[in-house]
A = this chain, B = another copy of it.
Amino acid sequence: MGEIKDVARQLLVKGGPQAVSLRAISREMGMTPSALYRYFPSLDALLAGVRSDLFEELGEATMEARDSVPGDDPLARLMAMARAFRTWGLAHRAEFGLMLGPPPPGVEGGPEPQEPDYAPACVGVAFLGEIAELNRRGGLRTPSVDLIEDRLAPGLREYLTGQEGLELPVIFAFLAAWARLYGIIAMEIFGHMAWAVTDSAALFETELINFAQQLSGSEYDRQLAGSDLDGS
């Protein structure tokens, strides 16, 4: 069960998305393709399982980075998490594509708007937590937002009830920051930045400072940012 997913991931890493096939997995495990149907109803379901595991792993990686930040600075923790996010993605390009690429393969590649995909939430809420803490300490610059009312997804709204420091502007600040982070990281990992820039680590670190300024509204001391520009 777990081993199947491990083999699938291994094939994904080694040969790309099209290399992970039921038959290849069974070959690798010394089994018959049909035997795998005892554990997964389909290949898509298997990949969905792998994807779920990967989100958990990514979540743990970012949380670990958060917990290893000395002192008690929410903004510093956020930047550490952002760096961990990028580092993990760069070290696991193929997995990243499966997780945060076009549509999750779990359902189908239909052109219709797919139903909510809750998998990314487990990573997102880690960021949300720190942003909320930043807000409680008065360090969050929330944009004026009367546009978005209570149009949050039911799941998120339920998660929010009773949590203090999570008013709507805070949620929006989080979503904007989350999308911004996704943009710079996914673009690099997917190779859509390569036509313009070779040293994407420098671009990322500079953008990270912008990122911090967007959140805190103040200049962020570059010395404290801890940028070393070594990754990739």
Q: Which residues of A contact B (CB under 8 A)?
A: 13-19, 93-94, 96-97, 100-104, 108-111, 113-118, 120-121, 124, 143, 145, 147-149, 151-153, 155-156, 171-172, 175-176, 178-184, 186-187, 190-199, 202-203, 205-207, 209-210, 214, 227, 229
Contact = CB atoms under 8 A, between A and B. Distances in A.
Contacts of A148: 197, 199, 202-203, 206
Contact of A229 (B147, B179, B214): B147
Nearest to A206: B147
B175 A179 contact: no
Copies in the complex: 2
Nearest to A121: B195
B16 A194 contact: no
B175 A16 contact: no
B147 A117 contact: no
Contacts of A186: 182-183, 186
Contact of A114 (B147, B191, B227): B191
Contact of A152 (B19, B147, B198): B198
Nearest to A173: B210
A103 B143 contact: no
A202 B148 CA distance: 6
